[in-house]
Amino acid sequence: MTRVLRVIARLNIGGPAIHATLLSKRLDPARYETMLVTGAEGENEGNHLQLHGQVLQNLVTMPDLGREIRGLQDLRSLWALTGLMRRFRPHVVHTHAAKAGTIGRVAARLAGVPVVVHTFHGHVLSGYFSPRKEQVFRAIERGLARITDELVAVSPRVRQELLDMRIGTADTFSVVPLGFDFDRFVRADEHRGQLRAELGIAPAAPLIGIVARLVPIKAHEVFLDAARQLHAVRPDAHFVLVGDGERRGELEQMVQAAAPSFRAAVHLLGWRADLARIYADLDIVALTSRNEGSPVALIEGMASARPVVSTRVGGVPDVVTDGERGWLVDMDDASGMSTALLHVLSLPDRGRAVALAGRAHVLATYGADRLVDDIDVLYQRLLSRKGAA
């Protein structure tokens, strides 16, 4: 029996939580014993398990383990995590994202764990902090890479960006795309009309949505600007923002300051567990991020056979081929986003064909079974190399 201890700073709603919990549930229990260690979510972040009414076995919560750098609390987390590893004696420690990757990998080496793996679900080494802080964090990641047996990126572009920053080496840096249970999204059309009825939107009215945490990197102000421009041309259009976060109040103020007709067309829905029902009524799924590892909302939207329009950032082009599986625009280009949205609305047959091509791609590339198989092969290869299989 191979023991795996997985570490993630928090199970906030988003790709890393989907990834970590899916692996914890789906790795063959006859061959793997998995423990998942997590910290606490921040205000308005939401909890993935609670949102979806899920319970995970062998889940350990360490309240001091969270996203922010917090000195003494981080030292307590390191001490507690090292002790837990010495008791559980994992063959593999697998960390996810920056904060857990730092504390978890150091703890694993202090505890003498044979195999240490870290997954980059994107990175915060560009676009999040000042240039000086970015240089410091890049130096830390270079050091951590040296004590990691395998680095994993969720997309080829994320891997290449990190290699370009001299983090890790090509021979110990693999790509393992995210994995999803797609059944509910494939059946999304069963719910067509329900969201529109809930919001009082006419069946024929264009409905465009963005599904993302309300945080600066997602650039919702660009989405709202593009929506305002589109609404001037298509006054029957409506727009939904699904998600929550630190910018909710600010974005609500932006909407309230707009013209009454546009204000009535914008709907902030908060976190929703019924995403298949949401996607079913969207004519377009949009994303305006300034950085992305692997765009979960686009993948879910594409699985639901919805046209997608996104900024050309991070790992998005690994999922969306412009004009073939969706449409891409430049970062922070609200006018370009508005033009692309209008283009898709104006050519519904073309949008449908591209949406179906997008669905075929994500179903073949991002399935849950493929993820589990990839990780199983990775673990066994590393354990065999260390003589710990």
The SS3 of residue 257 is coil
**Are the C-beta atoms of residues 310 and 316 closer than 8 Å to each other?**
yes
Burial class (CB in 10 A: 0-12, 13-18, 19+), 95: buried
Residue 174 burial class via C-beta count within 10 angstroms: exposed 0-12, middle 13-18, buried 19 and up:
middle
The residue assigned the tokens 């201890």 is 5
DSSP 8-state assignment for residue 291: -
Residues of the chain with CATH 3.40.50.2000: 2-181+367-386, 183-365
Total number of residues shown for the chain: 389
Architecture of domain 183-365: 3-Layer(aba) Sandwich (3.40)
Which of these, 270, 350, 354, lies nearest to 305 by C-alpha position?
354
Reading across the β-sheet that carries 284-287, which strands appear in turn?
A: 266-270, 238-242, 207-211, 284-287, 308-311, 327-329
Fold of the CATH domain 2-181+367-386: Rossmann fold (3.40.50)
Locate 172 and state its tokens: 């110990």
As a whole number of angstroms, the distance between CA 235 and CA 237 comes to 5
Longest dimension (CA), the chain: 67
Note the pLDDT of residue 184.
92
State CA 192 to chain mean position distance: 25
Closest CA to 319 of 290, 297, 347, 348: 297
CA 387 vs. chain centroid, Å, equals 34
Distance CA 248, CA 68 (A): 20
> Would the pTM count as exceeding 0.85?
yes
Q: What three-state secondary structure class fits 147?
A: coil
pLDDT in tens, the chain (389 residues): 999 999 998 777 677 888 888 899 999 999 999 999 998 766 666 666 666 667 678 889 888 786 666 667 888 889 999 999 999 999 999 999 888 999 999 999 999 999 999 999 877 666 566 778 878 889 999 999 999 999 999 999 999 999 999 999 999 999 999 999 999 999 999 999 999 999 999 999 999 999 999 999 999 999 999 999 999 999 999 999 999 999 999 999 999 999 999 999 999 999 998 999 999 999 999 999 998 888 999 999 999 999 999 999 988 999 999 999 999 999 999 999 999 999 999 999 999 999 999 999 999 999 999 999 999 999 999 999 877 65
> For residue 352, which of 299, 319, 304, 317 has the smallest C-alpha distance?
304
Residue 41, amino acid: E
The answer to whether residues 223 and 309 touch, using CB atoms and an 8 Å cutoff, is no
